[in-house]
Structure 1
Amino acid sequence: MPEATESRVVPFASGTIELRWSDVTHRGRRRENNQDAVLSAFPLFVVADGMGGHIGGEIASSRTIERLSAAVAAGEVSPATIESALEQAVDDIASHTETTDDGTGTTVTGVFLDLTGDDPTWVTLNIGDSRVYLFRDGALAQVTTDHSVVQELISAGRLSPEEAENHPYGNVITRAVGPSDGVVPDYVRLEVLDGDRFVICSDGLTKELTDYGILHFLLQHEDPTEAVDAMLEAALENGGRDNVTIIVLNVARTDSSPAAD
């Protein structure tokens, strides 16, 4: 189960942002090992879901998270440093010739806080079918777009979202971080608003919980640790067919009032 909720107050030119977050990763009920990995280290919050062989997927996700963690430690998180870290991770994955091959890889999905502009912004990043959701104004929206066969069929109008839930190709992704793929994520930039909440998760959660279910637990639990704990418990009760990894990140923004004349 997750540890206590972590927090950080971030000053910027005209105010402060308080972040509160918690994460959890679990093997699930049916898998022998956990090929997911997670990074919650300000300003970067990322989930990686490995695939390819019994050990290969673990190597792919763990090396990707380690390379991204090094970028955080170096003090600069940007699309350029993220892509450099992913390139290094691909080399790491390929170097394990005894356990990895061209089919080995990992998703990498998350969000980072960009403070380089006049006003802070969030930037989401995505390769694969792990997801970033944004809870804003009482509604939940998926920010990232899955790189999957099923999503391509939905986008082409050949499959409804309801039909996609039990599609035989539901686990087939079209992009990953690995020897046979590129390492440039899709990015989406978002403004920073008071009261926003992010859910970053592997498909082990979304296989077991609908978007409505995720929303339900966010509404029930304001504290991030309580929210990830409740979502994990529900995912396991609903079958726990895959590894499950979840980050919940709460945002409180305070802008300084203009000085009185």
Structure 2
Amino acid sequence: MAETTTTTHSVTVGQRRMLVSWAGTTDQGRRRDTNQDAFLADYPLFIVADGMGGHAGGEIASQSTVQRLQAVVADGGVGREAIEKALELAVADIADHPETTDEGTGTTLTGVFLEFQEGEPHWVSLNIGDSRVYLLRDDRLLQVTTDHSVVQELIAAGKLSPEEAEGHPYSNVITRAVGASELTPPDYLTIDIRPGDRFVICSDGLTKELTDYGIQHFLRENPEPGPAVDAMLAAALENGGRDNVTLIIVQVSEIDSSSTDDGSGA
């Protein structure tokens, strides 16, 4: 397996220069015939989409969503309004595609992007479905997003424990998706930028095979995004690879003012 490339881009936060580094990968896994996942890791937007639907439907849904969001990045106007307009176009693309006849066709969408207010950046997480964003901060791993799933609703209602949720027959049933029905805007959460922060953005193909402890372990063992991505993917496949596996790792470090960065791959 080829090593995953880490890419970097500098950003100014107040009087401090930060370096944003990232790497991402997707894999079909060991039990699926196709890969219905897709991802976009293109500064300042980092997202994972996990498609669902019969035949080629899931792949079409995730790829259509990624392509529409890629156009937002190319236009240089990444923000909540632009993202939602792109998702509306993706829903139309999915509905109009000749191979997406299944009513259950759609895709999850989750990730983070940099939003600028008066020139100052901060992170915003977005989420539709049960793909996840985690944040490792001060050596604690936090799940930033909340799953839009039947199981999560049962947990929130006190009818199911997190332990009971694992292996539950409804564990794959999500309550929101891009393309499955009328579009509901993503959930957003604003997060400040801190040196040392590391985001893991992933489809459930990763979290089916790695616990939160496992994710944190591989982050600790691999300080750079590329090797960390490779290690997590390898572990997920070794643990069964029951689904498509997609993940992006994004992290922030502080750089001194004498350093230079041209935004190219490192």
TM-score tier, shorter chain, comes to over 0.9
Partner of 1:176 in structure 2? 177
User: Given the superposition, is the C-alpha separation of residues 100 and 252 from structure 1 closer, same or farther in structure 2, using an over 3 Å criterion?
Assistant: farther
Q: Determine helix, strand or coil for the equivalent of 1:120.
A: strand
Superposed CA RMSD in Å reads 1.4
Cα offset, 1:251, TM superposition: 0.5
Q: Deviations over 1:19-68 (max 9, x none)?
A: 11100100000000000000000000000000001200000000000000
TM-score, normalised to structure 2's length? Answer: 0.93
Q: Deviations over 1:51-87 (max 9, x none)?
A: 0012000000000000000000000111100000000
Cα offset, 1:116, TM superposition: 2.5
Partner of 1:237 in structure 2? 238
8 Å CA contact 2:29–2:237 kept in 1: the answer is yes
**AA matched with 1:42:** Y
Q: Determine helix, strand or coil for the equivalent of 1:3.
A: coil
Partner of 1:192 in structure 2? 193
Mapping of 1:67-86 within 5 angstroms?
Answer: 67-86=68-87
Q: Deviations over 1:168-212 (max 9, x none)?
A: 100000000004131400000001011000000000000000000
Mapping of 1:139-218 within 5 angstroms?
Answer: 139-218=140-219
Cα offset, 1:102, TM superposition: 2.3
8 Å CA contact 2:28–2:244 kept in 1: the answer is yes
Cα offset, 1:119, TM superposition: 3.4
8 Å CA contact 1:134–1:143 kept in 2: the answer is yes
Q: Determine helix, strand or coil for the equivalent of 1:133.
A: strand
Partner of 1:99 in structure 2? 100
8 Å CA contact 2:48–2:203 kept in 1: the answer is yes
8 Å CA contact 2:4–2:230 kept in 1: the answer is no
TM-score, normalised to structure 1's length? Answer: 0.95
Q: How far apart in 2 are the matches of 1:253 and 1:67?
A: 32
Q: Determine helix, strand or coil for the equivalent of 1:16.
A: strand
**AA matched with 2:37:** D
**AA matched with 2:223:** E
Instruction: Report the number of matched residues.
Output: 256
Q: How far apart in 2 are the matches of 1:48 and 1:100?
A: 20
Q: How far apart in 1 are the matches of 2:101 and 2:113?
A: 29
8 Å CA contact 1:199–1:249 kept in 2: the answer is yes
User: Given the superposition, is the C-alpha separation of residues 2 and 101 from structure 1 closer, same or farther in structure 2, using an over 3 Å criterion?
Assistant: farther
Q: Determine helix, strand or coil for the equivalent of 1:18.
A: strand
Partner of 1:259 in structure 2? none
Partner of 1:251 in structure 2? 252
Structure 2: gaps of 5 or more residues = 258-266
Q: How far apart in 1 are the matches of 2:182 and 2:202?
A: 22
8 Å CA contact 1:154–1:161 kept in 2: the answer is yes
Q: Determine helix, strand or coil for the equivalent of 2:117.
A: coil
Q: How far apart in 1 are the matches of 2:156 and 2:118?
A: 34
Q: Determine helix, strand or coil for the equivalent of 1:212.
A: helix
**AA matched with 1:152:** E
8 Å CA contact 2:122–2:190 kept in 1: the answer is yes
Q: Deviations over 1:85-113 (max 9, x none)?
A: 00000000000144333210000100001
**AA matched with 2:207:** T
User: Given the superposition, is the C-alpha separation of residues 253 and 120 from structure 1 closer, same or farther in structure 2, using an over 3 Å criterion?
Assistant: farther
Q: How far apart in 1 are the matches of 2:214 and 2:97?
A: 39
